[in-house]
A and B are shown apart, each in its own frame.
Chain A
Amino acid sequence: MSPDNAIADFEAARRRQLRRQWLKSGAGLLIASLLLAAAFHQSQFFTADIGGDPARRILDFLTRLVPDLRGEVLFRGTDTPGSLSAWFYDLPRWLDAIRETVEMAALATVFGAIGATLASFLCARNLMPWAPVRFVVRRALEVIRTLPDLVLALILVAAFGAGPTAGVIALTVSTVGSLGKLFAEINEEVDPRQLEALDAAGAGLLTRIRFGLIPQVLPNYASYSLLRLEGNVAAAGALGIVGAGGIGLELQRAITYTEFSTYLAILLLLVSVIFVIDLTSEAIRHRLILSQDREP
């Protein structure tokens, strides 16, 4: 074979491969854009009638959203339009609702973590020898994770009536779903030697769990639970919109009166509370991880 031929062969092979790559990415791009075009068409994003000229509507929305604050009267009382306290005119009531929201999230996290611990023992390979139980519990947790907490809340509000009870139960159920899976993974990574040592010493099941399992898993459990608490506070903020208690009800009320700036005020209040809780929980989680690393 002459060198010319080898080069020509190489070039041809390279062109073929390039063409194949181009075709592949072109087809991918085409399918993706078709899907997206269908999605935008189906959701009427560009064709929806939003009440006139879009740019004007958005501008209108923003002017109604931003409160009418005036520098010279910023710190006057609630009666002076343009002051901060006129913007946050119902602050005590909102704080009350936010406390309710946080309590709902905290209770749901506690109950959910307890439920998740039980569920995780039932579906960890090294703790539950009976496969059918593991299978059923795992599938159940999967189904729970699929259902959005607000769908659960809708059904629960119909059963328990409007109020925080439905919200706490809905959040508890979805917490069991997400933490149960994580806890089971933690359980399965437990060092078996400590359990075996206790077994060899003749310890019963409860003693084995108490001294062989809990010291190994508790820091991880706590850290995941705190992470979930952060998520639960945010989720609880929306529950009131379907009537399940908390700050969502106040958000809904602000919308009913089309007070967009009030909505913004409540939203800012909510996100700052979430932010503070996130920072606190983050600090605790870092300490938990550190304390765990220090142990041998």
Chain B
Amino acid sequence: MSVMSAQTRPVTRNWGLVRGILWTALGLAAVVAMIMDLGLSPKGMAAGFGKLGQFLAAMVPPSDGGDFSRILAALIETLAMALAGTCLGVLAAIPLGIIGAKNVVRNPVFHFIYRRGLDIFRGVPALVWALIFVAAFGLGPFGGVLALAAADIPSLSKLFAEALENGDPGPVEGVRAAGVSPLLELRFGLAPQMAPIMASQCLYFLESNFRNAAVLGIVGAGGIGFELEERIRVFAFDQVAFIILLYIVAVSLLDTASAWLRRTLR
């Protein structure tokens, strides 16, 4: 009976099984090789998690360390950096996005190279930009704001360019048919289409910049990151927990406000 069922089984199914096992084995081997190469040892892990447990235990109860006003000021500075960085990024991305739109600059070679160029720098984290800007322009939020803008510009430009490309030409042609100046064409034909899309993207970037801005202080670029790093360095984990909790509350407040604004603007 069992022989029968084995024979009636489709052959392709077995090949799939073999292939699946091979890929799984290959993947496992790669994972093991990478673990060995990075030197992730169970012993080191155990010691680390032991210490982490102590840190977590030290986090309760959270305490502001008697310096609540300073933490709050740093948090406000973080928000200010996020706002300013997003604003600068948007201001720079508008012309860059217009240049990158297929229906503005029609040369396909330029378009390809330009958009790929934007893609290449899309992945660079804000902290990497902050490191060099702080070295160039000194400690403080100035470098941080620049870094946030620099990290946003490639993706924002791409989004704006795509929004322009996907814009409906109908309203623009309609306004043009009324015989108005090119400026009014933009104002009444294109702007009503673009503004809600762009505004909602700006708000998304503001949210993500608030998260990015929180770490820039690590390299001296201002904001709450500095307070965090300082307290982690001296193992003041009750204060670390306080800052993190306050930060989580701030993030959810900002996200709620931004979601409300997005709904209102739509």
Q: Is A43 an interface residue (CB 8 A)?
A: yes
* Residue in B45, B82, B127 whose CB lies within 8 Å of A241: B127
* Residue in B45, B51, B125, B229 whose CB lies within 8 Å of A238: B125
Q: A258, B232: Cβ atoms under 8 Å?
A: no
Q: A164, B40: Cβ atoms under 8 Å?
A: yes
Cα–Cα distance between A216 and B63 once the two chains are bound (Å): 48
Q: Is A263 an interface residue (CB 8 A)?
A: yes
Q: B128, A241: Cβ atoms under 8 Å?
A: yes
CB distance from B244 to the nearest CB of A (A): 7
CB distance from B88 to the nearest CB of A (A): 8
Interface residues of B: mostly helix, strand, loop or mixed? helix
Cα–Cα distance between A146 and B127 once the two chains are bound (Å): 17
Q: Is B162 an interface residue (CB 8 A)?
A: no
Q: A44, B87: Cβ atoms under 8 Å?
A: no
Q: Given A36-B84, A154-B229, A161-B48, A260–B131 Cβ distance below 8 Å?
A: no
Q: Given A51-B137, A255-B131, A275-B120, A154–B228 Cβ distance below 8 Å?
A: yes
Q: Given A151-B228, A165-B40, A43–B144 Cβ distance below 8 Å?
A: yes
Q: A260, B132: Cβ atoms under 8 Å?
A: yes
Q: B131, A258: Cβ atoms under 8 Å?
A: no
Residues of A within 8 A of B252 (CB): 146
Residues of B within 8 A of A36 (CB): 83-84, 87
Chain A residues touching B, range: 35 or more
Cα–Cα distance between A258 and B232 once the two chains are bound (Å): 27
Q: B80, A51: Cβ atoms under 8 Å?
A: no
CB distance from A221 to the nearest CB of B (A): 14
Q: B211, A39: Cβ atoms under 8 Å?
A: no
CB distance from B4 to the nearest CB of A (A): 21
We find that the number of chain B residues with CB closer than 8 angstroms to chain A is 64
Q: Is A271 an interface residue (CB 8 A)?
A: yes
Interface residues of A: mostly helix, strand, loop or mixed? helix
Residues of A within 8 A of B212 (CB): 148
Q: A44, B142: Cβ atoms under 8 Å?
A: yes
Q: Is B194 an interface residue (CB 8 A)?
A: no
Cα–Cα distance between A242 and B225 once the two chains are bound (Å): 11
Q: B123, A234: Cβ atoms under 8 Å?
A: yes
Report which residue of A143, A158, A163, A275 has the largest number of chain B beta carbons within 10 angstroms of its beta carbon: A158
Cα–Cα distance between A277 and B32 once the two chains are bound (Å): 21
Chain B 227-266 residues near chain A, CB threshold 8 A:
228-229, 232-233, 235, 240, 244, 247-248, 251-252
Q: Given A234-B125, A255-B131, A154–B222 Cβ distance below 8 Å?
A: no
Would you list 13 pairs from A and B whose C-beta atoms are within 8 A, ordered by A residue? A43-B84, A51-B137, A106-B30, A146-B211, A146-B247, A146-B251, A160-B44, A168-B40, A238-B128, A241-B127, A242-B218, A245-B38, A271-B120
Add 14 more A-B contacts to A99-B37, A156-B52, A238-B127 (CB < 8 A): A39-B84, A42-B76, A43-B145, A48-B142, A104-B38, A146-B248, A151-B228, A156-B48, A160-B51, A161-B44, A164-B40, A237-B123, A248-B128, A271-B121
